[in-house]
Structure 1
Amino acid sequence: MTMPPIQAHSGSRQAGVAIIAVLMVAALVASIGGLLMLRQQRALQQLEVRKDSAEARAATWSVLQLVRLTLRDDARLAQPDHMLKPWAVPIPEIQIENGGLSGRLIELNGRFNLNHVLSTDGKIDAQGLAAYRQLLVNLALPAQLADALERSWPTQAKNTPLQAVVEINELAKIDGYNAAVLQRLEPHLVALPVSTQINVNFVSAEVLAAWMPKLGVSRAEQVLASRRGKYFASVDEFAAVVPAQLRGDIPQAKLTVKSSFFWADMGARFGSVFLQHRALLDRSKADMPTVLWMRRIY
């Protein structure tokens, strides 16, 4: 007499289990569907980033070629290089479809070439080392950093000629050359692959006074003030504004009004991607400036 209630209870229980199973399957399907959708969105985002990156790289290369053409055409004019030239003015971001481009050329012949500390036979050059020591003093940095450089030239190998420094960041391996020191040196120092002359239209007072210690930074600033609003058309024109009693100390052979080395900084923004590259350009040997290296800096 108790069997019918038992059967009714069993049927309800099976129905409940079936409903739970259906809900679990529905939840699983929804989870899988959401996961697939999320993966698809991520795949599309990655595809968009790759597309934007490719466009940014292509645009950077195009800007680099334009910069090279600009420097080539400028060299053909055979005129002094100075701060008033169009290429010396940074280019603000130019808006283009889905992005923007920006860039600037940084003249390097006005800086102290670290490799002046080396002679042509791969040994420490006494005059270059003395000038570097004076530069440190002019920048309120310890003169002993020059001695540390001499003792631990970045690529020094025993019984072999010293090799040229590629980048001033190599100095970070030497005791005393911390981030603050390198930051102080950066606007005045560069490492170029060959011996270079100093462009008096770009040189800083600290670098000029490094090669002319009797002139001093203060009087060097007064001399260089003459190029404001114009420029030195020749080294002789520069020499004419140096105090007469110091003209015999002018290192004529080390000075010029022409520039051969430049950094080209190029920024490209497409979508969510921003790339910034730097290239070292040399226009001393060929009609079209040579790209010595190019690397991403951001």
Structure 2
Amino acid sequence: MSARHPRACPPSPRGQRGVALIVALLVVALAVILLAGLLDRGELALARTRNVLRGEQAQAYAEGLEAYAAQVLLRTRSEGGRIDHNASVWNTPLPAQPVPGGLISARLRDLNGCFNLNNLAPDRPDLAAWQRVFRRLLSVRGADPAIADAVTAWLGSQAGNDEGYYLAQPVPYRPARRAFAHASELRLVRGVAGEVQARLAPYVCAVPAGSRINVNTAGVPVLMALAETITQGVAERAWNGGQARWNDVAAFGDFLRGTGVALDPPTQRLLGVESSYFLARGQIVLDEVPFAFTSLIERRDGVGIRVLARSRGADEAWDTPGTPPAPETVRPR
């Protein structure tokens, strides 16, 4: 008697259609995933291209604003002589101007109106006078006057006793042993951090050593630092709401003598009424994306205009100088 074997049933048409449908769905899903990836990559590439083009356009506008600032500075010197003050043409901001794709604006700040940190270099013949002024500025702003010595040591070319302090920090580093490239480097100096840096930022700058303080554009704290006996009231009168227009240092000294203040000769030699260094700031908005550029500009007779440094982004030193110090940091009137 022979054994019976079950016959294999062919797949039903309905089952075949189900498998085909699943395969088709998988193919479609895979195609959608691949297409989405390609579109995403395309969007990223397009965004990168837009950003590059926008950045190049902003850079071109910034260079144009820089050239405009140079023309203004040269015209001011030719028309206004050798006296700079806050009513000079260069201190008039360029209001927002429409350009293809957005807006541009610009303004200049006089860096001879602040204290130049590089004048504290140990090889300066007038170091003692600059240190006295800076110690008083530190005191006016509620900071430790000993920071003046720390800055001089930082600028010294030879290693000193301060090396150990910096190497013992959580993130060790060494003093620069060179001139400050930017005033923000001050926060690295012993005794300067956080709040102290914020208090000093509007009144200090970093330009080539040898600059003088312009008494027409210096702020109230800087004027107070010129002598121990200059009170906030006297400094505010000299500042005149930012509209001081002394024709020379002698006239400024005469005013101080009328208030009972006498500047010593070494300090008088640190002062002037003209400016050589300016910070140009350009603000550009393209497609609602903001850009900020700053340029350190030197204006010299016989040399003309030179751009010493350029930077991109916000600058903490761009505050309005002349703001009276907080009451607790002010010496008695």
> TM over 0.5: same fold?
yes
Q: Which runs of 5+ in 1 are unaligned?
A: none
Paired residue for 2:49? 47
Q: Which runs of 5+ in 2 are unaligned?
A: 161-176, 315-333
Does the alignment pair 1:213 with 2:213?
no
Moved over 6 A (4+): 2-5
Q: Residues 66-109 of structure 1: CA distance to partner in whole angstroms, max 9, x if unpaired?
A: 11111112112214211112321333322222111111101011
Paired residues of 2:279 and 2:295 also in contact (CA < 8 A)? yes
Q: Secondary structure at the match of 1:279?
A: strand
Q: Secondary structure at the match of 1:242?
A: helix
Paired residues of 1:260 and 1:284 also in contact (CA < 8 A)? yes
Structure 1 residue 65 displacement after superposition: 0.9
Structure 1 residue 127 displacement after superposition: 2.2
Structure 1 residue 124 displacement after superposition: 8.7
Match 1:276 to one of 272, 283, 292: 292
Structure 1 residue 122 displacement after superposition: 5.4
Does the alignment pair 1:114 with 2:117?
yes
Paired residues of 2:86 and 2:242 also in contact (CA < 8 A)? no
Paired residues of 2:76 and 2:89 also in contact (CA < 8 A)? no
Q: Secondary structure at the match of 2:180?
A: coil
Paired residue for 1:236? 250
Structure 1 residue 285 displacement after superposition: 4.7
Paired residues of 2:212 and 2:270 also in contact (CA < 8 A)? yes
Query: For 1:153 and 1:287, how far apart are their aligned partners in 2?
Result: 31
Does the alignment pair 1:172 with 2:187?
yes
Query: For 2:242 and 2:54, how far apart are their aligned partners in 1?
Result: 43
Structure 1 residue 123 displacement after superposition: 7.9
Query: For 1:282 and 1:217, how far apart are their aligned partners in 2?
Result: 31
Question: Normalising by the residue count of structure 2, what TM-score does the alignment of the two structures yield?
Answer: 0.78
Paired residues of 1:106 and 1:262 also in contact (CA < 8 A)? yes
Structure 1 residue 27 displacement after superposition: 1.7
Query: For 1:122 and 1:292, how far apart are their aligned partners in 2?
Result: 21
> Counterpart amino acid of 1:254?
L
Structure 1 residue 193 displacement after superposition: 0.9
Range 231-240 or range 69-78, more displaced = 231-240
Paired residue for 1:87? 90
How high is the sequence identity, in percent, across the aligned residues? 26
Q: Secondary structure at the match of 2:296?
A: strand
Query: For 1:226 and 1:43, how far apart are their aligned partners in 2?
Result: 52
Does the alignment pair 1:99 with 2:115?
no
For residues 1-298 of structure 1, the aligned pairs below 5 Å read 6-7=9-10, 9-77=11-79, 78-118=81-121, 121=123, 125-150=127-152, 152-154=153-155, 156-158=157-159, 163-225=178-240, 228=243, 231-244=245-258, 245-247=260-262, 249=264, 251-298=267-314
Query: For 1:248 and 1:146, how far apart are their aligned partners in 2?
Result: 20
Q: Secondary structure at the match of 1:215?
A: coil
Paired residue for 2:326? none
Compute the RMSD of aligned alpha carbons.
2.7
User: What is the aligned length?
Assistant: 292
Q: Secondary structure at the match of 1:283?
A: strand
